[in-house]
Amino acid sequence: MPDGPVSDELAELIARRFRMLAEPSRIKLLDRLRAGEATVQELALRLGTTPQNASKHLAALADAGFVGRRKQGNYSYYRIIDDGIWELCHLICSSAERQLEELHGLLHA
């Protein structure tokens, strides 16, 4: 968070970026792109979805500034362009994993 008060414009941008991560398919796409650049077809196959569905989510992630795209022939290749996403994911994932472990502990106690 910034040192001073968060402006309305910044608050909206932050909320918009968090909304992009509220979709499990987008998180899975980002996780797959951690290994490097991939085509829509490769990503769709890896996620068990259609290229159209993967493309829709990738377009949203690109619009939010998380991923970039380059065309080569008939293929579109996607890659992470905002490395800050990994810091955010690490914080959220670590917290979520702890919470999941606690819930499993309660259920199996």
Number of domains in the chain: 1
Residue range of the domain that includes 52: 8-82
**Rounded Cα distance, 31 and 80, in Å:** 10
Residue 91 lies in a domain: no
Among all chains, which residue has been given the structure tokens 């309660």? Answer: 106
Nearest residue to 78 (alpha-carbon basis) of 35, 17, 16: 35
Of 78, 32, 84, the residue nearest 56 (C-alpha): 78
Q: Residue 1: what pLDDT?
A: 55
CATH of the domain at 67: 1.10.10.10
Is residue 107 in some structural domain? no
CA distance 34 to 5: 33
pLDDT at position 2 is 60
Residue 108 lies in a domain: no
In a domain, 89, yes or no: no
Residue 58 lies in a domain: yes
pLDDT by residue, tens only, the chain of 109 residues: 567 788 899 888 888 888 888 899 999 999 999 999 999 999 999 999 999 999 999 999 999 999 999 999 999 999 999 988 877 767 776 776 777 788 778 777 6
Contact 43, 57 (CB under 8 A): no
90 domain residue, yes or no: no
Model pLDDT, residue 41? 96
